[in-house]
């Protein structure tokens, strides 16, 4: 008997529609596994399911986190495990759907046993990083933890800061903790995982069209409200695809057309990384079209 169904896939691949159809057929409840759809501030730009879609079948962990928070993989895992318990208790099937490969890896392979960082240490590291370019932060990390720095993109300040925080708190590189993993929340063989496969030209067209649709449905106003909050630009919500470019436009630094093109390009690049991650990090997931997945279940 299947304990849970996991639906991964690149952005704009149709994961949400597939998850809703599976929930209808199998008596399931959908649990969000997308790191941007957790944020209350990002309804349009995260392509969160609409209220009508969420009314069709139970949905969980959507828009439940304030943008001022740095929501981590560990927090998601704890929330997901608690929610799965509630779904099972209600006699329903958990269907976890989203594009964040790290969430699925933590759920099925266990989370790295990284020490908790004291909030005072975190504040000290972030205060010291204020105003520094991501490349400068990456150089700092390379000097302290070259193994971790080699695995992180210089344009990823959030993960770079996390690694710097761990080093500051423990005196040891983040890489030294990542080999030790907690037991997975889902036992092997009890769940089925799928990756929604879409050919690149089709996916590119969907991504570009969807971003234009987001603009028509209030993406600029959503980003305007987010910018007015004055949040730390290193926070995940401030780096969501589309947010940096639209904020630059609102500051008068670029045209709207350039901001849209940047959002589309960033999303296309992200989709490519999603595919690569699943191919190398989630070997137990079966690849196929939405139709193939429906037929398999």
Could you report the per-residue pLDDT of 88-114, keeping only the tens digit for each?
999 999 999 999 999 999 999 998 767
What number of CA atoms fall less than 13 Å from residue 55's CA on the CB side? 3
Q: Does 51 have pLDDT greater than 70?
A: yes
Phi and psi for 121 in degrees, rounded to 5?
A: -65, -45
Q: In percent, how much of the chain has pLDDT > 70?
A: 98
Tell me the whole-structure pTM to 2 decimals.
Answer: 0.83
d(Cα 208, Cα 15) in Å, to the nearest integer? 17
Encoded tokens for 125: 């590291």
pLDDT digits (tens, 9 = 90+) for 174-230: 777 766 667 899 988 889 999 999 999 999 999 999 999 999 999 999 999 999 999
pLDDT digits (tens, 9 = 90+) for 55-83: 999 999 999 999 999 899 999 999 999 99
Beta bridge partners of 288: 196
Q: Which domains does the chain have, with CATH numbers?
A: 4-113+182-198+277-296 (3.40.50.300), 119-176 (1.10.20.140), 202-271 (1.10.287.890)
Q: Does 7 have pLDDT greater than 90?
A: yes
What pLDDT is stored for residue 170 in this prediction?
81
| Cα angle, residue 163 at apex, residues 248 and 106 outer, rounded to 5° | 95
């Amino acid at each position: 008997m299947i304990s849970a169904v996991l639906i991964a896939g690149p952005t704009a691949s149709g994961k949400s529609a597939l998850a809703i159809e599976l929930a209808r057929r199998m008596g399931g409840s959908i649990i969000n596994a997308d790191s941007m759809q957790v944020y209350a501030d990002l309804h349009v730009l995260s392509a969160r399911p609409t209220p009508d879609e969420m009314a069709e079948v139970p949905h969980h962990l959507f828009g439940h986190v304030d943008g001022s928070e740095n929501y981590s993989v560990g927090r998601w895992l704890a929330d997901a495990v608690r929610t799965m318990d509630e779904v099972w208790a209600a006699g329903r099937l958990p269907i976890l759907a989203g594009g964040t490969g790290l969430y699925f890896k933590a759920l099925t392979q266990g989370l790295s046993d990284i020490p908790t960082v004291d909030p005072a240490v975190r504040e000290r590291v972030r205060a010291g990083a204020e105003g520094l370019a991501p490349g400068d932060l990456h150089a700092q990390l390379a000097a302290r933890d070259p193994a971790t720095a080699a695995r992180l993109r210089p344009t990823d300040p959030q993960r770079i800061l996390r690694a710097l925080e761990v080093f500051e708190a423990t005196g040891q590189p983040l890489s030294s903790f990542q080999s030790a993993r907690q037991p997975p929340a889902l036992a092997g063989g009890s769940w089925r995982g799928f990756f929604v496969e879409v050919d690149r030209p089709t996916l590119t067209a969907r991504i570009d069209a969807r971003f234009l649709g987001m603009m028509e449905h209030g993406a600029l106003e959503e980003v305007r409200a987010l910018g007015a909050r004055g949040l730390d630009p290193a926070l995940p919500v401030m780096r969501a695809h589309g947010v940096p470019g639209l904020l630059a436009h609102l500051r008068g630094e670029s045209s709207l057309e350039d901001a849209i093109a940047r959002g589309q390009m960033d999303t296309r690049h992200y989709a490519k990384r999603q595919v690569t991650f699943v191919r190398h990090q989630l070997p137990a997931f079966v690849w196929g079209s939405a139709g193939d997945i429906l037929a398999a279940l």
